[in-house]
Amino acid sequence: MALSQRLDLRQSQSLVMTPQLQQAIKLLQFSNAELTEFVESELEKNPLLEADEGERSFSEEASEDNVTAYEKAQDPDVKQTEREEGFSDEIVRDTLLQTSSENLPSLNDDPNDTDYENNWGSAGINDPNELGPGAIAEDYTSYKTSGGSNNFDHPDYNIDQTASADKTLRQHLYEQLGVDFIGIQERLIGAHLIEMIDDTGYLLTDPSDLMANLDCTEEQISKVLCKLQHFDPPGVFARNLSECLALQLRDKDRLDPAMQTLIEHLDQLANHELGNLKKLCNVDDEDIVEMISEIKSLNPKPGLLFEPSIDQQIAPDVILRAGPDGTWLVELNPETLPKVLVNNSYYAKVSKKQMLKPEKEYLNECIQSANWLVKSLHQRATTIIKVASEIVSQQDNFFRFGVQYLKPLILRDVASAIDMHESTVSRVTNNKYISTPRGMLELKYFFSSSIASAAGGDALSAEAVKARIKTLVDSEEPNKILSDDRIVEILVSQGVDIARRTVAKYRDAMRIPSSVQRRRQKSIKI
């Protein structure tokens, strides 16, 4: 069979994401902190971008000076380059003047279809190392945000005081080391042990490692460690939680045999096995309650007194408030909305000058990038407000009456209502928060699976069912603890078709102990 050549024509289609579309999608899924960081980076790289520091609203038109400046920039070479790059005169103008969602490629073109089922529960850990004093630790880790006067001319202004930082844990320990230790070798061992503790004050490294490095005996290290464990704050240089609590009780002269036994069985205390603890400690109900209360007053992380952590506050992307006519007003948070403008005045001045081809290409690249960034930011804001408004509309009863009226909602419901792709809604709700009369909530919170109604009525949201379970558990009496089967019976009588394993799953998600553990907890009121 002879070989021959032939030419065939084939036609195919493929989705090609332009850099502009990729940028718009990337900005859409950014949180406000990530967006701020990205915009600041672009402001540093692009000389045609500038931050808008004026009191301009989101929908305010650009100033007439920018438009006039553009009109002056009528260099034929520049205009020809813009035509070759596919940019019209309308795009080069300040984009806030001409921006609209139609000018950007549709975000619905994204082939990635993201869907998820969102289950949310209350936080909490049943861990013996996190023994109860969460509220106590919170008091110790409070951070002062108030500073001195920012008026440098004020007579009370002290630059030395302002520049000085708070004393750290290690600095505090080194001060005591210089007073309590006289010998050079002991000071050397103590200094190494100070460097081995973590920010919470625990000694997590084996001190015996110092024997070879410092040419000392284990007895010498133990002697120094024993003296260090008397340092302030009480509880530092402990190697575990039990030892930390014991050091604090010893400092208060409350480390008796019964208390020593109790802190040696923290695992049973975490599981509320109070009957066994009373037998081990040889105490009655009143004594065990008093002992547990005293342990709760201790600080499980004493080092945080000197190493405070700054709480990261979440700024809402959307603000919801009630209108005077009873409707809901949805608006973007102006504090998290980047204000970026294209410096057309500078572009007009530079474009008039004679430039080499690489310089002209760089200038055109900058103006193109600047305009697309402003357009993408506007598109992002428009999309967020559109999705948030639809969520508020569908969850109206939740905002008016509470979590029990939260509707089951999926991405497809919102996407179809506003004519968007599900992946777009997914990106909008990712790491975005809304401030409501019912608190700060993530947009993902409003998406949950549905639970069928036993009477054939409307389905219930999983979050609404969780709220009912929590209400039942919180209202139960110590002598009438509700089992999972009993909770199922109550919910079915209320019209909720739910299985026992689902109740157990929701209870575990909310960190609610089992009926046996709750019975132990409530047998003795602590």
* Per-residue pLDDT at 128: 39
Could you give the residue ranges of the DSSP H alpha helices within 252-305? 257-263, 266-270, 274-281, 285-296
* Per-residue pLDDT at 6: 82
Domains of the chain (ranges; CATH) run 19-113+316-379 (no CATH), 169-305 (no CATH), 392-523 (1.10.10)
* Per-residue pLDDT at 27: 86
Which residues pair with residue 197 across a beta bridge? 203
Encoding tokens for residue 9? 């024509």
* Per-residue pLDDT at 12: 81
Instruction: Round to whole Å and give the CA distance between 74 and 344.
Output: 12
Helix, coil or strand: residue 309: coil
424-463 residue pLDDT tens: 999 999 889 999 998 899 999 998 887 877 666 677 888 8
378-418 residue pLDDT tens: 999 999 999 999 999 999 989 998 888 888 888 999 999 99
- Specify whether the backbone of 495 is left (phi greater than 0), alpha (psi in -120 to 50) or beta: left
Task: Report, as ranges of residue numbers, the positions in the chain whose pLDDT lies below 70.
Answer: 1, 15, 53-166, 307-312, 454-457, 523-526
Contact by Cβ (8 Å): 336, 58:
no
The pTM of this model reads 0.58
Instruction: Round to whole Å and give the CA distance between 262 and 489.
Output: 39
211-215 LR contacts (CB < 8 Å, sep 24+): 214/185, 214/188, 214/189
What does the DSSP 8-state code read for residue 166?
A: P
SS (H, E, C) 169-211: HHHHHHHHHHHHCCCHHHHHHHHHHHHCECCCCEECCCHHHHH
